[in-house]
Structure formats: C-alpha cells, structure tokens
C-alpha cells in the first residue's frame, strides 16, 4: 500500500511540474478583463475568440463577448456571462469593461485558459 501511495505522489508531482511550464493558467473572467485594461484588445481576442459584435463610433469601439455557462441546478435556457469592453478607436487599447450575468450564471465563476509570460 505504501508503494502505491508513493508512486501516486510521484506521478502527481511530475504532472504538476509539467503544468508549471506549460505557459498557460486558468483565470476568472473578471480578473482577465481587469488585467487587460490599458493593453491591446488583441490580447482579449486571443483568450475569448472573435467577439459576438463590435459597435463602432468615431472615438471608441465596444466589443461584446457572450460566454455560455451551464450552472448546476439551473433550468434549461440561456445562461452565461456577457462582457462588454470599451476600446479606444485609434490605439485599440482597452479603456474599461462591464460584465452582466445572464440567467442563472455568475460571471465570477466563468474561467478561461490564458497564456502567461514565460520567465
């Protein structure tokens, strides 16, 4: 029994060591959005894909993403998180964002894999 436990622990450590160098991390949508204020919108497009729509004015653009979610115990229907990101039209840098819970979803619980800087 002790050998099995030792082997399981060793495999777990090797797995964690491999994940530590993968260059990706899992983060919540609010922290991803907050971390990208002032940075190019292309970083958000890399994480969330193409936006559902883009509203354009001469001074700013508003990117809208819908992130579907299936909350436990929720009735069938339309559930998810909608993220609106305001971007400067000239520099294409994120000015701010807003999150809206749709249905029984909670935007704080939605997570995505993001690329992290290599050391």
What are the 10-residue block averages of pLDDT along the chain, 119 residues in total? 50 47 78 94 93 96 93 87 96 96 87 65
Tell me, what DSSP letter sits at residue 93?
A: B
Within a domain: 11:
no
The answer to whether residue 68 is domain-embedded is: yes
Number of domains within the chain: 1
Is the whole-model pTM more than 0.85?
Answer: no
Task: Classify residue 96: in a domain, yes or no.
Answer: yes
- Could you write out the three-class secondary structure of 39-63? CECHHHHHHHCCCCEEEECCCEEEE
Q: What is the pLDDT of residues 55-82, one digit of tens each?
A: 999 999 999 999 998 888 888 888 989 9
Would you say 62 and 54 are in contact if contact means Cβ atoms under 8 Å apart? yes
Give the structural domain span for 59.
Answer: 24-115
Query: Does residue 17 belong to any structural domain of this protein?
Result: no
- Structural domain includes residue 44: yes
Q: Which residue, chain included where needed, has tokens 């305001």?
A: 86
């Amino acid at each position: 029994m002790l050998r099995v436990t030792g082997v399981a622990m060793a495999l777990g450590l090797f797995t964690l060591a491999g994940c530590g160098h993968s260059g990706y991390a899992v983060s919540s949508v609010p922290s991803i959005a907050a971390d990208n204020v002032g940075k190019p919108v292309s970083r958000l497009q890399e994480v969330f894909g193409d936006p559902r729509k883009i509203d354009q004015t001469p001074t700013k653009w508003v990117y809208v993403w819908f992130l579907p979610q299936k909350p436990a115990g929720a009735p069938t229907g339309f559930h998810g998180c909608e993220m609106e990101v305001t971007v400067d039209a000239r520099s294409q840098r994120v000015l701010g964002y807003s999150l809206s819970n749709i249905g029984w979803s909670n935007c704080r619980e939605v997570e995505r894999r993001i690329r992290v800087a290599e050391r």
